[in-house]
Amino acid sequence: MTQDDSLARRNVIVLVCAQAFLGAQMPISFVLGGLSGQVLSPVKCFATLPISLIVLTTMFAAPALSSYMQTHGRRAGFVVGAAGGALGGLLSAAGLYYGSFPLFLTGSIGTGIYMAAQGFYRFAAVDTASAGYRPKAISLVMAGGLASAIIGPQLVKLTGEMTDPIPFAGGYLAIVALNVLGVLIFAFLKIPKPPAPVPGGPAGRSRMALLREPQIAVAMICAMVAYALMNLVMTSTPLAVVGCGFTVNNASDIVAAHVLAMFAPSFFTGHLIARFGVERIIGTGLTLLGIAGVVAISGVELWNFYVTLTLLGLGWNFGFIGATTMLSAAHSPEERGRVQGMNDFAVFGMVTVASFSSGLLMNCSGGDAVQGWTAVNIAMLPLLVLAGGVLIWFVFRPRAEVA
């Protein structure tokens, strides 16, 4: 580790705190989003539409925020994200208070802006880091989600009766408070603004040229699949748990276990990547996602849900952190905003499709909760085959192509 990494370590601490506290709003949103949709939506097939709208907004906000950060710096972009999250929480609470599904959906747009900003925490971790410290920096920032996995579901429980008889509104008011705290956290972030483009200076490759780079293309596909499959199954989990006769608190605890599994391995994922190589770690992640689907299909006891969601979180961690590490080593500084915005646009585009499909498969597949849950997990297979296929091709492609 070089001396220059002292600044990187400071920024990692700030970003870990942001991931821990601001990130807690995402478990809240994913636990309560579908359940709130079932209460407010006139068509039950659209129960998960609030979550789908969050990720749809994230898809379109990510490139815009990436460009904004390229010009104005990371701190400014993260404050914009926190402001969006606070407004989203307030509008969602208002939608529940007035019984308005359209107003509640408007709140999802604000949450999507926050989620887009949160996606860049992992990239910000490497802005001031040496090449050797980058995998560890990414992993440590992602590990901040370990605290969010505890804070978010506990806030759901603590605020459950705060706004009775209006269901779930207390959780969304807690989201407002988390984002206000986040603005204070970002005051300690110190990442220099990217230098302004110099006329005649290096501008980097075009988007099409970047997509033709095998390392970038494979990293993007693996990130898309890992995140989309995690979202596909997680979005339906509260509906499946409650639909199979368990309680909202059971669903909250299962999501908590899932988010813990998403982020706890981050303390050592960077070390595993350094030791075994990024391709092996991504492959392990995809394998774990497949095993999660098998466990889910095998039964709907409480332990099935816990094991499925735990494996799902582990698979996401290895697949997504591995893909992020692969991507971060494949572009120059002047290409940073272009590549990262393009990557997150693609990732959250796929997640949007997965999220909306999750609700349709769960509620509109012609059967009960068990059949819907089975349909959700079977739908993982084609994307796993895609990601596994391109990763194998990347590892074994001809030597001349590597050069």
pLDDT tens profile 52-102: 889 889 888 988 998 899 889 999 999 999 999 999 999 999 999 999 999
CA distance linking residue 176 with residue 395, whole number of Å: 45
Residue 3 has pLDDT above 50, yes or no: no
As a whole number, the mean pLDDT across the chain is 88
Q: What is the DSSP letter of 144?
A: T
Confidence of residue 118 (pLDDT cuts 50, 70, 90): very high
**Which pLDDT score, from 0 to 100, does residue 113 have?**
96
For 20, 31, 54, 346, the CA distances from 179, given in Å and listed in that order, are: 12, 18, 16, 26
Residue 402 counted as domain residue:
no
| 302-361 pLDDT tens trace | 999 999 999 999 999 999 999 988 998 887 777 777 888 888 889 888 988 888 888 788
Residue 138 counted as domain residue:
yes
Count of the separate structural domains present in the chain? 1
Residue 63 counted as domain residue:
yes
**Which pLDDT score, from 0 to 100, does residue 402 have?**
45
CA distance linking residue 351 with residue 61, whole number of Å: 14
Residue 198 counted as domain residue:
no
CATH (domain of 52): 1.20.1250.20
Q: What is the amino acid identity at position 107?
A: G
Residue 261 counted as domain residue:
yes
160-185 b/e (C-beta count within 10 Å ≥ 16 → b): beebeeebbbbbbbbbbebbeebeeb
Residue 403 counted as domain residue:
no
Residue 245 counted as domain residue:
yes
Residue 25 counted as domain residue:
yes
Residue 382 has pLDDT above 90, yes or no: yes
Q: Domain range spanning residue 112?
A: 5-190+208-396
**Which pLDDT score, from 0 to 100, does residue 201 have?**
59
CB 107 within 8 A of CB 95: yes
Q: Please state whether the predicted TM-score (pTM) of the whole model is above 0.85.
A: no
Residue 116 tokens, joined = 């887009």
**Which pLDDT score, from 0 to 100, does residue 365 have?**
66
